[in-house]
Structures are given as C-alpha cells and as structure tokens.
C-alpha cells in the first residue's frame, strides 16, 4: 500500500505504522465468535440488498441489537464497515482501517484495543450505486 500511496496519504500511513509498532507484543489474539459473525452477516445482507450506507439496519436495529439476536452481551462492542468498489483482499481492508485518516482514528483505535477479545467478520455484495461490496467487522470484549 505504501508504494502506491499518494504523497498526501504518506503521513497517515507512517502514523499508522508507528501506532501499530507501539502496540507490538501488547495484544493477544482475537477469538473467532460465531454470534458476532452471524450478526455481521445479517448486516451485510441487509444493507447490501437495500443499498444502505449505515450502521443502522433497515428495520432500525443498532449493531448491539443485531448481536443480541444471537447472544446477550454486557461488555465492549464495536462495529466497523468498509464499503468497496471492487472485491478487496483482506490485507488491503485491514490497512484501510489501520491507516484511518479520519479525525478520531476510531477504526484504528478499536482494532488495536486490548479490551477486544472476540471478532466476527462478514463480506458480501452491495447494491448502492457507488459500492459493490461491504465488509463488516464486529469486535467485542
């Protein structure tokens, strides 16, 4: 990614590299969670079929509501979505979330948070005019 980045992207990429390096050895593995994965899959299907760009489901549900269809959850819970024009390799999706040039760096901080111990992921087609795929990650602790 760094080799194909524009000059304006390079500071954000370097900042992400420094951030990730500062967490080396501090994070344990994430455990796969079927309930989180099913919840992510529900949301990918819902927003994809209807062309929505939202964390809210077409039925008004929040990401927590969707998780609690499958399990009661009392700890930390986070959802992030990447909307893609083309099918994107997992490495590029991860890089996109880690670089996260938004003002709060919420995706980066949550992906690297030590309180998240569980993960569920889903990817699927999306019918929005500017989007062909969406990827949803659920993190919980």
Alpha carbons 98 and 73: distance in angstroms, whole number: 26
Whole-number pLDDT of residue 85: 87
Model confidence pLDDT, tens digit, residues 27-37:
889 999 999 99
Regions of the chain where pLDDT drops below 50: 1-3
Closest CA to 81 of 101, 105, 107: 107
Question: 137 with 121: CB under 8 angstroms?
Answer: yes
pLDDT at residue number 41: 97
pLDDT of the residue at 6: 64
What pLDDT score does 3 carry? Answer: 46
Whole-number pLDDT of residue 122: 96
| pLDDT score recorded for residue 73 | 84
- H/E run at residue 78: strand 77-84
């Amino acid at each position: 990614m760094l080799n194909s980045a524009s000059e304006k992207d390079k500071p954000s990429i370097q900042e992400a590299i420094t951030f990730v390096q500062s967490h080396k050895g501090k994070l344990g593995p994430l455990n796969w969670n079927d309930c989180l994965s099913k919840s992510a899959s529900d949301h990918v299907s819902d927003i994809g079929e209807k062309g929505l760009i939202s964390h809210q489901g077409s039925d008004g549900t929040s990401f927590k509501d969707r998780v609690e269809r499958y399990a009661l959850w009392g700890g930390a819970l986070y959802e992030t979505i990447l909307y893609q024009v083309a099918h994107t390799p997992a490495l590029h999706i991860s890089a996109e979330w880690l670089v996260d040039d938004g003002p709060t760096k919420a995706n980066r901080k949550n992906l690297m948070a030590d309180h998240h111990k569980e993960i569920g992921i889903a990817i699927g087609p999306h019918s929005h005019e500017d989007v062909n795929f969406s990827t949803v990650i659920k993190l919980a602790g």
